[in-house]
Amino acid sequence: MSIWISEFNGDFTQGTIVDGVDWGLGDDNPLGIVITNACDLEHDHSGFLMVAALEPAAEVLGASKEFQSLVKDSTDGLLKRKQWDALTRFLKDYIHNKNICRHFFFDPRPVLDMDCVVVDFQHIRSLDLEQLNSLEPIGQMKHPFIEQMMMRFTSYVARIPVDRPDDEDEQKYIKELAGIYTLKS
Protein backbone atom coordinates (compact mmCIF):
# COMPACT_ATOMS: atom_id res chain seq x y z
CA MET A 1 0.00 0.00 0.00
CA SER A 2 1.37 3.40 -0.98
CA ILE A 3 1.18 6.29 1.47
CA TRP A 4 1.11 8.75 -1.47
CA ILE A 5 -1.31 7.37 -4.06
CA SER A 6 -4.22 4.98 -4.52
CA GLU A 7 -5.94 3.34 -7.46
CA PHE A 8 -8.03 5.72 -9.58
CA ASN A 9 -11.46 5.91 -7.95
CA GLY A 10 -13.47 7.23 -10.90
CA ASP A 11 -13.41 10.94 -9.96
CA PHE A 12 -11.21 12.93 -12.33
CA THR A 13 -9.81 15.69 -10.10
CA GLN A 14 -6.72 17.43 -8.79
CA GLY A 15 -4.06 14.81 -8.10
CA THR A 16 -5.31 12.34 -10.72
CA ILE A 17 -2.35 10.65 -12.42
CA VAL A 18 -2.86 10.32 -16.16
CA ASP A 19 -1.29 8.68 -19.18
CA GLY A 20 -1.73 9.98 -22.71
CA VAL A 21 -0.57 13.60 -22.42
CA ASP A 22 1.28 14.59 -25.58
CA TRP A 23 4.42 16.25 -24.23
CA GLY A 24 5.96 16.26 -27.72
CA LEU A 25 8.46 13.53 -26.81
CA GLY A 26 7.06 10.68 -28.91
CA ASP A 27 7.33 7.33 -27.14
CA ASP A 28 9.13 8.96 -24.20
CA ASN A 29 6.11 11.00 -23.04
CA PRO A 30 6.01 10.94 -19.23
CA LEU A 31 2.91 10.43 -17.13
CA GLY A 32 1.23 13.55 -15.80
CA ILE A 33 -0.63 14.68 -12.70
CA VAL A 34 -3.59 17.05 -12.73
CA ILE A 35 -2.90 20.33 -10.92
CA THR A 36 -6.08 22.19 -11.91
CA ASN A 37 -8.08 23.36 -8.88
CA ALA A 38 -10.44 20.55 -7.79
CA CYS A 39 -13.45 22.82 -7.26
CA ASP A 40 -12.96 24.39 -10.70
CA LEU A 41 -13.19 20.91 -12.23
CA GLU A 42 -16.14 19.90 -10.04
CA HIS A 43 -18.19 23.02 -10.88
CA ASP A 44 -17.15 23.29 -14.55
CA HIS A 45 -15.31 26.59 -13.98
CA SER A 46 -12.21 25.58 -15.89
CA GLY A 47 -11.67 25.87 -19.62
CA PHE A 48 -8.37 24.05 -19.47
CA LEU A 49 -6.83 21.12 -17.65
CA MET A 50 -3.39 21.85 -16.18
CA VAL A 51 -1.09 18.84 -15.98
CA ALA A 52 2.48 18.59 -14.65
CA ALA A 53 4.92 15.92 -15.85
CA LEU A 54 6.12 13.06 -13.63
CA GLU A 55 9.84 12.46 -14.11
CA PRO A 56 12.08 9.65 -12.72
CA ALA A 57 13.37 10.97 -9.39
CA ALA A 58 16.75 9.21 -9.53
CA GLU A 59 17.51 10.70 -12.96
CA VAL A 60 16.38 14.23 -12.05
CA LEU A 61 18.12 14.36 -8.69
CA GLY A 62 21.23 12.55 -9.93
CA ALA A 63 21.67 15.13 -12.69
CA SER A 64 21.30 18.10 -10.34
CA LYS A 65 24.26 20.37 -9.54
CA GLU A 66 23.73 19.75 -5.82
CA PHE A 67 23.90 15.96 -6.18
CA GLN A 68 26.92 16.13 -8.48
CA SER A 69 28.82 18.40 -6.09
CA LEU A 70 28.21 15.95 -3.23
CA VAL A 71 29.56 12.92 -5.13
CA LYS A 72 32.29 14.55 -7.24
CA ASP A 73 35.21 13.09 -5.27
CA SER A 74 33.85 9.56 -4.98
CA THR A 75 35.99 6.60 -5.91
CA ASP A 76 34.09 3.90 -7.82
CA GLY A 77 30.85 5.06 -6.19
CA LEU A 78 32.31 4.93 -2.68
CA LEU A 79 31.82 8.03 -0.54
CA LYS A 80 33.58 9.17 2.60
CA ARG A 81 31.41 9.41 5.72
CA LYS A 82 30.98 13.22 5.47
CA GLN A 83 30.02 12.95 1.79
CA TRP A 84 27.55 10.14 2.50
CA ASP A 85 25.97 12.07 5.38
CA ALA A 86 25.64 15.19 3.20
CA LEU A 87 24.15 13.17 0.32
CA THR A 88 21.73 11.48 2.71
CA ARG A 89 20.60 14.87 4.09
CA PHE A 90 20.12 16.18 0.55
CA LEU A 91 18.02 13.14 -0.46
CA LYS A 92 15.97 13.16 2.76
CA ASP A 93 15.03 16.78 2.10
CA TYR A 94 13.56 15.65 -1.24
CA ILE A 95 11.92 12.51 0.17
CA HIS A 96 10.15 14.61 2.81
CA ASN A 97 9.49 17.52 0.41
CA LYS A 98 11.07 19.94 2.87
CA ASN A 99 12.17 22.65 0.46
CA ILE A 100 10.30 24.93 -1.89
CA CYS A 101 11.78 23.83 -5.19
CA ARG A 102 10.95 22.82 -8.73
CA HIS A 103 10.03 19.23 -7.78
CA PHE A 104 7.67 17.31 -5.51
CA PHE A 105 8.75 13.74 -4.65
CA PHE A 106 6.57 10.64 -4.25
CA ASP A 107 6.78 6.86 -4.60
CA PRO A 108 3.96 5.47 -6.78
CA ARG A 109 4.59 1.83 -5.85
CA PRO A 110 2.82 -0.58 -5.55
CA VAL A 111 -0.11 1.16 -7.30
CA LEU A 112 2.01 1.94 -10.37
CA ASP A 113 4.88 -0.25 -11.52
CA MET A 114 7.53 2.45 -11.69
CA ASP A 115 10.33 3.85 -9.56
CA CYS A 116 10.07 7.01 -7.46
CA VAL A 117 9.07 10.14 -9.36
CA VAL A 118 9.07 13.90 -8.99
CA VAL A 119 6.34 16.24 -10.17
CA ASP A 120 8.14 18.78 -12.36
CA PHE A 121 6.63 22.23 -11.79
CA GLN A 122 8.41 23.60 -14.87
CA HIS A 123 7.12 20.89 -17.21
CA ILE A 124 3.43 21.82 -17.43
CA ARG A 125 0.77 21.60 -20.15
CA SER A 126 -2.63 23.26 -20.36
CA LEU A 127 -4.99 20.99 -22.27
CA ASP A 128 -8.44 21.75 -23.69
CA LEU A 129 -11.06 19.97 -21.60
CA GLU A 130 -12.11 18.12 -24.77
CA GLN A 131 -8.78 16.27 -24.48
CA LEU A 132 -9.91 14.78 -21.15
CA ASN A 133 -11.39 11.77 -22.96
CA SER A 134 -8.02 10.98 -24.57
CA LEU A 135 -6.32 10.68 -21.17
CA GLU A 136 -6.17 7.44 -19.20
CA PRO A 137 -6.48 7.97 -15.43
CA ILE A 138 -4.23 5.41 -13.72
CA GLY A 139 -3.92 6.59 -10.12
CA GLN A 140 -4.91 9.22 -7.58
CA MET A 141 -2.69 11.12 -5.17
CA LYS A 142 -4.05 10.92 -1.62
CA HIS A 143 -4.88 13.70 0.81
CA PRO A 144 -3.00 15.52 2.40
CA PHE A 145 -0.30 14.95 -0.25
CA ILE A 146 -2.42 16.71 -2.90
CA GLU A 147 -2.54 19.79 -0.70
CA GLN A 148 1.18 19.56 0.10
CA MET A 149 2.03 19.25 -3.60
CA MET A 150 -0.17 22.24 -4.48
CA MET A 151 1.32 24.31 -1.66
CA ARG A 152 4.79 23.56 -3.05
CA PHE A 153 3.63 24.37 -6.58
CA THR A 154 2.09 27.72 -5.65
CA SER A 155 5.09 28.64 -3.50
CA TYR A 156 7.45 27.73 -6.34
CA VAL A 157 5.67 29.68 -9.07
CA ALA A 158 4.96 32.68 -6.81
CA ARG A 159 8.59 33.28 -5.81
CA ILE A 160 9.64 36.91 -5.92
CA PRO A 161 13.22 37.76 -6.90
CA VAL A 162 14.92 39.91 -4.27
CA ASP A 163 18.43 41.22 -3.81
CA ARG A 164 20.64 39.13 -1.55
CA PRO A 165 23.08 40.44 1.05
CA ASP A 166 26.63 40.51 -0.31
CA ASP A 167 29.26 38.11 1.07
CA GLU A 168 30.60 40.67 3.54
CA ASP A 169 27.17 41.38 5.03
CA GLU A 170 26.34 37.67 5.05
CA GLN A 171 29.46 36.92 7.11
CA LYS A 172 28.57 39.77 9.49
CA TYR A 173 25.06 38.27 9.98
CA ILE A 174 26.45 34.78 10.53
CA LYS A 175 28.79 36.08 13.24
CA GLU A 176 25.96 38.01 14.90
CA LEU A 177 23.51 35.10 14.81
CA ALA A 178 26.06 32.45 15.88
CA GLY A 179 26.58 34.34 19.13
CA ILE A 180 29.48 32.92 21.12
CA TYR A 181 30.07 30.07 18.64
CA THR A 182 32.85 30.18 16.05
CA LEU A 183 34.79 27.78 13.83
CA LYS A 184 37.41 25.74 15.68
CA SER A 185 40.94 26.37 14.34
How high does pLDDT run on average in the chain?
93
Which residue ranges form the domains of the chain, and what is each CATH number?
Answer: 5-178 (2.30.30.110)
Instruction: Report the pLDDT value the prediction gives residue 41, as an integer from 0 to 100.
Output: 87
Which of 24-28, 57-61, 131-135 is predicted most confidently? 57-61
Instruction: Report the pLDDT value the prediction gives residue 152, as an integer from 0 to 100.
Output: 95
User: Tell me: the pLDDT tens digits for 145-154?
Assistant: 999 999 999 9
Give the pLDDT band of residue 171 (cuts 50, 70, 90): very high
Residue closest to 153 by CA, chosen among 20, 15, 24, 5? 15
User: Tell me: the pLDDT tens digits for 59-69?
Assistant: 999 999 999 99
- Residue 185 pLDDT more than 80? no
- Residue 1 pLDDT more than 80? no
Give the pLDDT band of residue 74 (cuts 50, 70, 90): confident
The mean per-residue pLDDT over the stretch 34-45 comes to 90
Distance, CA of 12 to CA of 66 (rounded, Å)? 36
pTM of structure: 0.87
User: Tell me: the pLDDT tens digits for 107-118?
Assistant: 999 999 999 999
Give the pLDDT band of residue 159 (cuts 50, 70, 90): confident
User: Tell me: the pLDDT tens digits for 8-18?
Assistant: 999 899 999 99
The mean per-residue pLDDT over the stretch 42-54 comes to 92
Instruction: Report the pLDDT value the prediction gives residue 78, as an integer from 0 to 100.
Output: 92
CB–CB of 48/156 below 8 Å?
no
